[in-house]
Amino acid sequence: MTTSTTEVLAPPTERYTVLGWLRRNLFGSIGDSILTIIAIWLTYAMLKPSLSWGFSVAKWTVIADNLKLFMVGRYPAEELWRVWVVLYLLAAVVGFTWGAWVKGKEKAGYVLLGIPVFLALLPFSPTIRMMILALDLFGFLGIILGRRDNPKFKNWSIISLLLYFPVGILLIGGLTGETGFLPTVKPDLWGGLMLTILLAVIGIIFSFPIGVALALGRQSKLPIISWFSVGVIELVRGVPLITILFMMDLMLPLFLPAEIRVEGVIRAFVAITLFSAAYMAENVRGGLQAIPRGQYEAAHALGLNGFTTMAFIILPQALKAVIPILVSQFIGLLKDTTLVMILSLFDVLGIGKSVLGNPEYVGTAKEVYVFVAALFWVLSYGLSYASQRLETSLGVGER
Amino acid sequence: MSRKLFPVFALLIVLSMVLAACGGAAAPEAPAEEAAAVEAPAEEAAAAPGETEGPAPAASGDTLATVQARGHVICGGNSGVPGFGFLDTEGTFTGFDIDFCKAVAAAVFGDAEAYEIRPLSSQERFTALQSGEIDVLIRNTTWTLSRDTDLGANFVATTFYDGQGFIVRKADGINTLEDLDGGTVCVQTGTTTEANLADTMAARGLSYEPVVYEDVETGWTTYEEGRCDAYTTDKSGLVARQILLTVPDDHVIMDETISKEPLGPVVRHGDDQWFDIVQWTVFATFFAEEHGITAANAGDMMASTANPREKSFFGTEGELGAFLGLDADWAYNVVSQVGNYAEIYDRNLGPDTLTYIPRGLNSLYTDGGLLFAPAWR
Amino acid sequence: MAKTKYSTEEAIPFWRDERVLRVLGQIVFLVVAVSFFYYLYNNMITALAAQGMTPSFEFLGRTAGFDIGESLINYVRSDSYARALVVGILNTIYVSIFGIFFATIFGVILGVSRLSKNFLVAKLSSIYLEILRNIPLLVLLVFWYSGVFITLPRVKEAITFGPIFLSNRGIAVPWGIPTETWASYLIILFLALVVSIVVSWRLKVIGDRTGRPPLRILWVPLTFLVLAMVGWLVLPQSPLEIEYPALKGLNFTGGYVFSPEFMALLSGLVIYTAAFVGEIVRAGIMSVSKGQHEAAKALGLTSFQTLRLVIFPQAMRVIVPPLTSQYLNLTKNSSLAVAIGFPDLFAIGGTSLNQSGRAVEVIALMMGLYLLSSLLTSVFMNWYNDKIKLVER
């Protein structure tokens, strides 16, 4: 590769110098410069006190001492291995799915691998740190397996993902009564981050069929059914989640016959499912409306009846179109589950509140809330970033 | 695409059916629609209306039988009040109120660990009791006439005598309520405290601005930061929390006590047997203290005592236990497993704890307090 | 669905006749639904009757017996529960209207600055968006209250900006006290409003005729302000007397005090909702095709004119529907006020529930009121949406 130097044009220097970049991007005009200066000042004014508080004032021992509570609440210690199994399974399944669907160049999935790294940075004991980092190992194994060239893997990954949730919930909730291999752990003992995530996951899973049913009901030509669906959807969407939670908490025990006792956590599940179903219905309706008229007509021309048209032609397309929205709905739900704190359930924020009731940790409110906020941020940012990347690389939701 | 997604969809339906069957969540509405395929899961979910936990709890009537069949007693408790009920680092509930729940468990089952705490917010505590979700409410609940009648609750013996007071900053020079005129007072919502405050200030013709919190801890933090001139709650709460303030000596509890706050366990209207059990369990702790019976010496005393009252207490003479529907040695179980009143008190609120409250009114009547156990015969 | 039924009508037995089945199916559904709800209702009545309670709204007339920190109307502890709840409704509306106003302004600024050419500004606003969209509002509110507003200086060391005092008891500002001429001034204000509406309408007519829409958003408020000012000066005595806040005893007296609870709730709602509004505004602006920019430029419009006359009217159509749901969310989210001690509808409802023990009634009432406010907001926004649609077509 020897070319005569005289013929090579010098690169446009301005583009690559720091000064040039600064001038173009930050100090283009007087107005621009003022904006830049204000922005720098704002950043400084916000960052300085926050950092100095975080590194010198804050007493982070409150987090370190209560970490188990923050993560799993009052879940019995001897059954904790089940939570680990569920987590490892999750890592493996997610890795496998990622490996099967995203071939080659897409690197963004590694953001998800960052979540365990973040968790391992928390003041856990070394063994637990290793166990958390092992999550990434399982993730990698999943990815490597998924990368293998096997056309069936895509279907398998969906099936494993769908099977994962009931299996996981059974593992955590238990199977075999009071004793045995998997003794029941009552939902009231679920807590911390685990409860937060479970509330959101179960909320989404259960609200899916109900939401689809409500969306179809709303589209229905039968007046009573469509009024009913519209009524339920608008009623639930018209009131704050907190009132639905409050109602379920106080009134569900009254609504059910006296023989049936429902645990507080289950009541929250019911409320969250109902809430999520109404929003799900609106999302699915959006998907249904996006289906061109021609699809219905074509189905009719093929001789399909109303039911088969819905089940085989319209719904599959509509549901595909709403998958990206489901991810953001899940993230929204994850954040909304914090409201169960007001029902004195021990989700991650509720645990924070009760830790503050422990005489040893009185006065550490800021530390606790900052920690909870950071936890949520890492989770939902990681999820939304990864899902956006997955969408672009799969072309889901694009036409 | 439809070919690929249909199995997925079908699977989801199956899954939700499985979940509905074992997860046990009840979907309160059953929307039906044209497409039967999606109708199935929704109906299925509605068909499983919550999981029944063991045998039915009676909303009224035979609570003891329900509790015995279930195998443990369920108490409504506090989750964030230092000294009375909070979650320790191991995730177990600890505190003065919790110990009385253990005492009831010991009386009924002879096992102080056969209990479960249901943390309740101040709003939901009475509905939880009404609906039969809990057997006893032990959560700093003040005995008032309207609660005793209108809310369908029955108050048993008082375990803690309290009165509402105010804490203020020394530097502000507030000595009486009149000095608080025009000031700001922090108070927790959903309590008799809030109404007492309003009543007292109105009666004395004083104006003030209330700032009302859902959460005790937020109230204290904001008081300490100077948002309020005074924080008001039961005096025990003030004493216990004062030493946890950054500089406790900067604050002072006003002499004035504006209310009577007898706190104790609460049971449902209409089940006299259960009422008696809880009431006499509390009395047993008083009696044990009066007679010097402690967790450590209960076994020896039981074997050696000649006092006929103590004999009937231990159940070695007479059949007082059977009158309550309990074992003969129920009171022995309470004292040996949980301790007498003084032990319970010292463990949670005594001088060695972070939440020290002098006993004051909560001493035996022989020491000038209000604790008094009826005769054991 | 219109199949050729007329020819085979007699041949179809009624259990296969689609029309009959539809009616039948709906009746079955109705019966099932009604009996299901009746079952729930019946259980509730039974459970309550066991405690000797019957649902009734009679308690609303009873004395509430608690005080409320902030109220837009006069309220004392001896007023009824009904009045206490009205105080709560007004407080919810109060904070929602302010919240919507500021969230819109702040959100538009954010959305525009995300598209800014200034690297730092664009990056900062997207960092802001990413942080706020991923934190639960409840955590944010609690932090904002106990981390920011409560840590302001105490009342005796209040920061002063001229007549404005800033402390952890809130922000005390000078406030007008009505004098005798206030009533006549209100009439003048009303007249000014009428005049400015007329001006607005005239300007629109002129704009439609000439094709050069004047800057109504500037001229109409200006007309109003000028008239209001003239009215103020014409009156013999000024209609409002300015009262300055002063530290007297334990608290500020005089002027008006915005409480830290209100400020924290408002700013929490605003900065949270603004993040979502910003995203909506950005998406709206991006949805206007690049050709529109270029065409506007080719016509010689300035960049401000381009934004006002070309981009914004088109972007609005995309922006309004999601914006509506954000406004609704803000109103509903204001119920989280209970966590930081602002007496909104939910907080006062909670206290009423506790003092009266009427759980079922209070919850039903609260849900009904929230539903009503949501419906009213959506009716208004739908009307607005239709209006801008009509302008376009």
The rounded distance, in Å, linking the Cα atoms of B2 and A315 is 9
With H, G, I as helix, E, B as strand and everything else as coil, classify residue B266: strand
For B298-320, give the DSSP string. HHHHHHH---HHHHHHHTSSS-H
Q: Is A342 on the interface with C (CB under 8 A)?
A: yes
Q: What is the pLDDT of residue B97?
A: 92
**Tally: H helices and E strands in chain A:** 18, 0
- pLDDT of residue C320 exceeding 50: yes
Mean of per-residue pLDDT scores for chain A: 81
In words, the CATH class of domain B164-259 is alpha beta
Neighbours of A220 (CB within 10 A): 21
Tell me the residue range of the domain where C136 lies. 81-174+244-392
Instruction: Write out the residue limits of the CATH 3.40.190.10 domain(s) in chain B.
Output: 63-160+263-367, 164-259
Bin A150: left if φ > 0, else alpha if -120 < ψ < 50, else beta: beta
- Is B63-160+263-367 a CATH 3.30.565.10 domain? no
State how far residue C248 is from chain A, nearest Cα, in angstroms: 31
Tally the domains of chain C: 1
Quickly state the pLDDT bin for C293 (edges 50, 70, 90).
confident
Are C68 and B209 an interchain contact pair (Cβ–Cβ within 8 Å)?
A: no
User: What are the two backbone dihedrals, phi and then psi, of residue A226, each rounded to the nearest 5 degrees?
Assistant: -70, -35
Quickly state the pLDDT bin for B12 (edges 50, 70, 90).
very low
Separation in Å, CA A310 to CA A223, A232, B14: 19, 22, 18
Q: Is residue C28 part of a domain?
A: no
State how far residue A256 is from chain C, nearest Cα, in angstroms: 6
Q: What is the CATH number of the domain that holds C336?
A: 1.10.3720.10
| ipTM value > 0.85 | no
Q: Which stretch, A186-190, B149-153, B179-183, C47-51, has highest mean pLDDT? A: B179-183
**Chain centre distance of CA A95:** 16
Q: Are C125 and C110 in contact (CB under 8 A)?
A: yes
Rg (CA), chain C: 28
What does DSSP say about strands B160-162 and B85-87: parallel, antiparallel, or unpaired?
unpaired
Are A240 and C117 an interchain contact pair (Cβ–Cβ within 8 Å)?
A: no
State how far residue A344 is from chain B, nearest Cα, in angstroms: 6
Largest CA distance in chain B: 87
Angle formed by the axes of helices C81-114 and C260-287, nearest 10°: 40
Of the residues C51, C63, C252, C356, the best mutation for testing chain B's interface (the one with the most B CB atoms within 10 Å of its CB) is C51
**What letter represents residue B59's amino acid?**
A
Q: What is the 3-state secondary structure (H, E, C) of chain C?
A: CCCCCCCCHHHCCHHHCHHHHHHHHHHHHHHHHHHHHHHHHHHHHHHHHHCCCCCCHHHHHCECCCCCCCCCCCCCCCCEHHHHHHHHHHHHHHHHHHHHHHHHHHHHHHHHHHCCCCHHHHHHHHHHHHHHHCCCHHHHHHHHHHHHHCCCCCHHHCEEECCEEEECCEEEECEEEECCCHHHHHHHHHHHHHHHHHHHHHHHHHHHHHCCCCCHHHHHHHHHHHHHHHHHHHCCCCCEEEECCEEECCEEECCEEECHHHHHHHHHHHHHHHHHHHHHHHHHHHHCCHHHHHHHHHCCCCHHHHHHHHHHHHHHHHHHHHHHHHHHHHHHHHHHHHHCCCCCHHHHHHHHHHHHCCHHHHHHHHHHHHHHHHHHHHHHHHHHHHHHHHHHC
The rounded distance, in Å, linking the Cα atoms of C389 and B273 is 71
Q: What is the pLDDT of residue A10?
A: 62
The rounded distance, in Å, linking the Cα atoms of C108 and C114 is 10
**What letter represents residue B325's amino acid?**
G
Q: Are A191 and A351 in contact (CB under 8 A)?
A: yes
The rounded distance, in Å, linking the Cα atoms of A188 and A265 is 6
With H, G, I as helix, E, B as strand and everything else as coil, classify residue A55: helix
Q: Is C31 on the interface with A (CB under 8 A)?
A: no
Give the bridge partners for B184, in sequence order.
Answer: B209
Quickly state the pLDDT bin for B137 (edges 50, 70, 90).
very high
- Of the candidates C35, A307, A122, the one whose C-alpha atom is nearest the C-alpha of residue B30 is C35
- pLDDT of residue B276 exceeding 90: yes
Between the CA atoms of B219, B220, B224 and B227, what dihedral angle is there, to the nearest 10 degrees?
10
The rounded distance, in Å, linking the Cα atoms of A193 and A172 is 14
CB-nearest partner of A208 from B12, B18, B22:
B12
Q: Is residue C373 part of a domain?
A: yes
- pLDDT of residue C100 exceeding 90: yes
Q: What is the pLDDT of residue A109?
A: 63
Q: Is residue C189 part of a domain?
A: no
Q: Which chains touch A (3 or more CB pairs under 8 A)?
A: B, C
Quickly state the pLDDT bin for B46 (edges 50, 70, 90).
very low
List the B136-137 sheet strands across, edge first.
B115-119, B73-77, B136-137, B266-268, B153-155
State how far residue C127 is from chain A, nearest Cα, in angstroms: 11
Largest CA distance in chain C: 92
Question: Picking from A273-287, B236-250, C258-272, C363-377, which range would have the lowest pLDDT averaged per residue?
Answer: B236-250
Neighbours of C127 (CB within 10 A): 11
- pLDDT of residue C4 exceeding 80: no
**What letter represents residue B84's amino acid?**
F
Q: What is the pLDDT of residue C242?
A: 80
Query: How large is the average pLDDT for residues A70-78?
Result: 85
Are A342 and C339 an interchain contact pair (Cβ–Cβ within 8 Å)?
A: yes
What does DSSP say about strands B136-137 and B73-77: parallel, antiparallel, or unpaired?
parallel
